[in-house]
A and B are shown apart, each in its own frame.
Chain A
């Protein structure tokens, strides 16, 4: 996988000659560096050991809705990294929430119907709606993403043991991104109930839940008692990384996104007789989640020719001068490369990572939803600008892939 170059003819070579695959294992840093900085005599462009250009992403494919027992599912492959995501919806009854009645009393008494209408009208959410959404989705834990690496996806992870710190950190990154992008609308997860106004003639209709349902949907009389939330859908979003070859986050997030786009929630209502929520199994009653936008994650790594240079400059001042001389000889080319979508081999050789999550609105304006950079100090503002540009190109590509699946 590392290289497709033909094995050298060993007979005529000196004894110490190594085939590329062994060189890649013994001197990984020098191997990648040699690929990225070809000798100036031939006009080869700088290329990564896996044959990609530095800003090129791996081939991505997505497939949704193939798992039977899920409300929504997707498989996303980015190169050799494969993630399977399944979304299962379960019900959280408000009577099971310990603090529910208290929090309802203290929270706003605004009619929920008007909140719905503003949401339906468009993105005119006022602060109050946002706060209510946050309170419901985050405080009640309605989104439960869990990522599992214990699938034998890579040699380092022992199956059957507790989630590794990488798995834990990825789960939490996905959770916080789900919260901060407000991807899932809280209103899709609420199950409302309209208590009938307790007139004597209305009591007779109690048995007929169908009729009551029509009531809640259509007429909106003034004297009606306020609607109440009887239950919430809780989305269990489970991601299994089937194969791990670098950049697990992009693959996992793309799988979550594709699975949520595929998710159908059944129509559910409060059944007064059984005092529980029942659902219709008819597929025509079920509705898809209406997600907010399409946030696409793109990860990058920075490969440095001499990672210790920065430290050396601080400790040994002469080293910095030497480096400056060498740079001058090379024509001022900085010895670092931004690698898009690093694979497992490159991840092992780089310290500095950046992750940008972007979305585009209907006018094609790029919205940055998350920007994270850690592990080093070489990415500057210009580089970040470049990363955002690359991410928005990637967004177009991912949108096409996700629309097709």
Chain B
């Protein structure tokens, strides 16, 4: 492959990420793996602020509260390996703007979504060109937002939504070996964050919407307290994948509380075999979706507050 001549390239032979001694000796550090300190239905705090980027029509910045282990590691730094990470992303909205002359006629607003990880966002260095995962996130985000925007109010117009992820969530705890339960669980949290942030940015850009779409994540987690032979699973809201040994299945929704509508649903993993607690006869995926909707309701309260702030700020301006 030829080098990208538009960027400053590193050494042509490539580089290797640093290998820590802690990575090599497995099992020794199992005691200090990140543990969930929250209740199963307790969400992380969300910091959401709009209007930080004045050059855009609308913008927002979202940050999740660091998990207990990360907060402890920050307060008292010992190791260079972070125990977990907290989502940080910036979202900008440009538009509505006229479509280029060459574009075909569209009676509705044309949404374009771009989700890009910063190269330093994840534990592994990301490339500069969007990979398939980032494109996938973009498509999911577009689906979630398209259901909320009143698109026919802006014929022949375009709306660009760009999300830059400065820090992503981990897919699993860094010390655990890859296993069969692995999937890109971190992406689910990132998508939920993208939906909430993009929704705030769209309102900040004064685009008419049916309701605020909020993102929420729930997951079925193999119970770690009991013996694993019984195979009980627990429903957890707003899971940080680094804090759980094995996530069986996870679900992210884009949800509009006022209309009780789901605009985006993404379910990963096998929820069919999950047996929930006693007295809960919902099927696995029903429970997951309900849980994700509950999480989205929680995010919606933050979103509503951020939008109120955005409006108050804009009212003061001429």
Chain A complexes with chain B: yes
Q: Which of A's residues lie within 8 Å of B, judged by CB?
A: 1, 7, 19, 21, 67-70, 73, 80, 82, 84, 86-93, 96-98, 140-142, 144-146, 148, 150-155, 158-160, 162-163, 168, 171-172, 175, 234, 236, 238, 240, 242-245, 264, 266, 268, 274, 276-283, 286, 344
- State in angstroms the CA–CA spacing of A236 and B124 once bound together: 12
* Contact status B21-A344, CB under 8 Å: no
Choose one: B80, B119, B120; the contact of A281 (CB below 8 Å).
B80
Would you list the 9 A-B pairs with minimal beta carbon distance, nearest first? A152-B162, A86-B120, A152-B92, A90-B15, A243-B53, A159-B114, A96-B13, A144-B10, A281-B20
Choose one: A88, A151, A264, A266; the contact of B162 (CB below 8 Å).
A151
* Contact status A152-B79, CB under 8 Å: no
For A1, A92, A145, A281, the residue with the greatest tally of chain B CB atoms inside 10 Å of its CB is A281
- State in angstroms the CA–CA spacing of A15 and B7 once bound together: 53
**Which B residues are in CB contact (< 8 Å) with A90?**
10, 15-18, 125
- State in angstroms the CA–CA spacing of A85 and B82 once bound together: 18
**Which B residues are in CB contact (< 8 Å) with A240?**
118, 164, 166
Q: Closest residue of chain A to B317, judged by CB?
A: A1
**Which B residues are in CB contact (< 8 Å) with A158?**
160
- State in angstroms the CA–CA spacing of A159 and B92 once bound together: 11
Choose one: A69, A145, A154, A283; the contact of B123 (CB below 8 Å).
A69
In chain B, residues 166-220, which have Cβ atoms closer than 8 Å to a Cβ of chain A? 166-167
Q: With A69-B85, A264-B80 as given contacts, are A141 and B116 in contact (CB-CB < 8 Å)?
A: no
- State in angstroms the CA–CA spacing of A146 and B52 once bound together: 23
* Contact status A67-B167, CB under 8 Å: yes
10 residue pairs from A and B, CB less than 8 Å apart: A67-B166, A86-B119, A90-B15, A90-B16, A151-B90, A152-B160, A171-B8, A234-B11, A279-B20, A281-B22
- State in angstroms the CA–CA spacing of A278 and B22 once bound together: 10
- State in angstroms the CA–CA spacing of A84 and B90 once bound together: 11
* Contact status B94-A155, CB under 8 Å: yes
Interface size on B, residues (CB 8 A): 58
B68 to chain A, nearest CB (A): 14
* Contact status B92-A153, CB under 8 Å: yes
**Which A residues are in CB contact (< 8 Å) with B313?**
none
For B6, B86, B120, the residue with the greatest tally of chain A CB atoms inside 10 Å of its CB is B120
- State in angstroms the CA–CA spacing of A283 and B77 once bound together: 7
B129 to chain A, nearest CB (A): 9
* Contact status A92-B11, CB under 8 Å: yes
Say if the beta carbon of B130 comes within 8 Å of chain A. Answer: yes
B77 to chain A, nearest CB (A): 5
**Which B residues are in CB contact (< 8 Å) with A168?**
6-7
* Contact status B121-A96, CB under 8 Å: no
**Which B residues are in CB contact (< 8 Å) with A69?**
82, 85, 120-123, 167
Choose one: B18, B86, B88, B125; the contact of A236 (CB below 8 Å).
B125
* Contact status A162-B6, CB under 8 Å: yes
For A91, A146, A277, A286, the residue with the greatest tally of chain B CB atoms inside 10 Å of its CB is A146
Say if the beta carbon of B99 comes within 8 Å of chain A. Answer: no
A122 to chain B, nearest CB (A): 30
Choose one: A21, A88, A151, A238; the contact of B318 (CB below 8 Å).
A21
- State in angstroms the CA–CA spacing of A204 and B114 once bound together: 58
**Seed contacts A91-B17, A242-B164; 7 additional CB < 8 Å A-B pairs:** A88-B119, A152-B160, A238-B118, A276-B19, A280-B21, A282-B80, A344-B55
Say if the beta carbon of B103 comes within 8 Å of chain A. Answer: no
Q: Closest residue of chain A to B24, judged by CB?
A: A278
- State in angstroms the CA–CA spacing of A286 and B77 once bound together: 12
B99 to chain A, nearest CB (A): 13
Q: Closest residue of chain A to B138, judged by CB?
A: A160
**Which B residues are in CB contact (< 8 Å) with A21?**
318
* Contact status A236-B94, CB under 8 Å: no
A11 to chain B, nearest CB (A): 16
Choose one: A73, A144, A151, A154; the contact of B164 (CB below 8 Å).
A151
* Contact status A236-B10, CB under 8 Å: yes
**Which A residues are in CB contact (< 8 Å) with B24?**
274, 278
* Contact status B56-A234, CB under 8 Å: no
* Contact status B11-A97, CB under 8 Å: yes
B72 to chain A, nearest CB (A): 13
**Which A residues are in CB contact (< 8 Å) with B16?**
90-93
Q: Closest residue of chain B to A20, judged by CB?
A: B318
* Contact status B119-A238, CB under 8 Å: yes
- State in angstroms the CA–CA spacing of A114 and B77 once bound together: 35
**Which A residues are in CB contact (< 8 Å) with B82?**
68-69
